[in-house]
């Protein structure tokens, strides 16, 4: 069997920045084991598998890290929609409906940008039982919990950029991962980074799902329903966020980097 696979850098307009995802547009079924094996081979934070459903504008979308299947991934959804338009699976301006483990997700191309409609992830003020008020030498000013992750607010954007976590400690004291965030600088309202060693990613370059929670967190903190966000990983990435009731609109760009075939 041969399948085509494409690597797309998401949340950027420049190759070799943003967050890379592998995208497979499938014309035939793969087993769960085959999808997981391909994701292990690609060794990116996520590999996305897209398949047509019986409805003309609806597609099945699944995401795999090198270690496991996950419930929600923003950058691989953005990458999938981008490549579907480029490959002729969808038209510019069309709303693509993805059926996922997190329900229906909608993505629409608007000029050079893609606009994703995601669920808002609720956050709850709570202090972490291990880290308390300190995260590897940086002071935690506020903290919040979501279902399988934590948010730690640090003092400023410089603290985000300079943070050097011990991933073995993060792994021991988190279920999935930890989001650190702070008020932004320059044109950005917020900065963040995401550490997820328990899902096979020590640091994710740009994390869509984390911003579904960060939108709720910062709306509670500031009352702003629109944010320009920067994820300050080594690769870096830009996201534009808007809260609409219990949904988050995430806008980003993407660029193709590589296409090839996997044979097995």
The catalytic residue among 28, 46, 69, 161 is 46
Residue owning tokens 């939108």: 215
DSSP-assigned letter for residue 131: T
How crowded is residue 69: how many other Cβ atoms within 10 Å of its Cβ? Answer: 15
Strand partners, 210: none
Cβ burial of 118 (10 Å; 0-12, 13-18, 19+) is buried
Judge whether 46 counts as a catalytic residue.
Answer: yes
Distance in Å from the first CA to the final CA of the chain: 5
* CA nearest neighbour of 144 among 130, 125, 129: 125
Report the catalytic residues: 46
């Amino acid at each position: 069997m041969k399948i085509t696979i494409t690597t797309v850098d998401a949340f950027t307009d420049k190759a070799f920045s943003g967050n890379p995802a592998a995208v497979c547009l499938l014309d035939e079924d793969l087993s769960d084991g085959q999808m997981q094996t391909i994701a292990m081979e690609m060794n990116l934070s996520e590999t996305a598998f897209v398949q047509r459903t019986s409805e003309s504008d609806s597609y099945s979308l699944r995401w795999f890290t090198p270690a496991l299947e996950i419930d929600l991934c923003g950058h691989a959804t953005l990458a999938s929609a981008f490549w579907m338009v480029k490959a002729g699976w969808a038209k510019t301006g069309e709303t693509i409906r993805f059926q996922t483990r997190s329900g229906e997700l909608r993505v629409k191309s608007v000029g050079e940008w893609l606009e994703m409609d995601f669920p808002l992830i609720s956050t709850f003020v709570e202090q972490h039982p291990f880290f308390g008020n300190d995260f590897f030498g940086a002071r935690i000013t506020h903290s919040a919990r979501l279902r399988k992750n934590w948010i730690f607010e640090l003092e400023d954007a410089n603290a985000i950029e300079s943070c050097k976590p011990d991933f073995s400690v993060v792994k021991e004291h988190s279920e999935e991962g930890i989001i650190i965030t702070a008020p932004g600088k320059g044109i950005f309202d917020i900065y963040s980074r995401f550490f997820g060693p328990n899902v096979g990613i020590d640091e994710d370059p740009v994390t869509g799902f984390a911003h579904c929670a960060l939108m709720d967190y910062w709306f509670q903190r500031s009352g702003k329903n629109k944010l320009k966000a920067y994820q300050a990983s080594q690769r870096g990435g830009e996201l534009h966020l808007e809260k609409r009731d219990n949904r988050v609109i995430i806008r980003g760009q993407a660029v193709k980097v590589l296409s090839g075939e996997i044979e097995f």
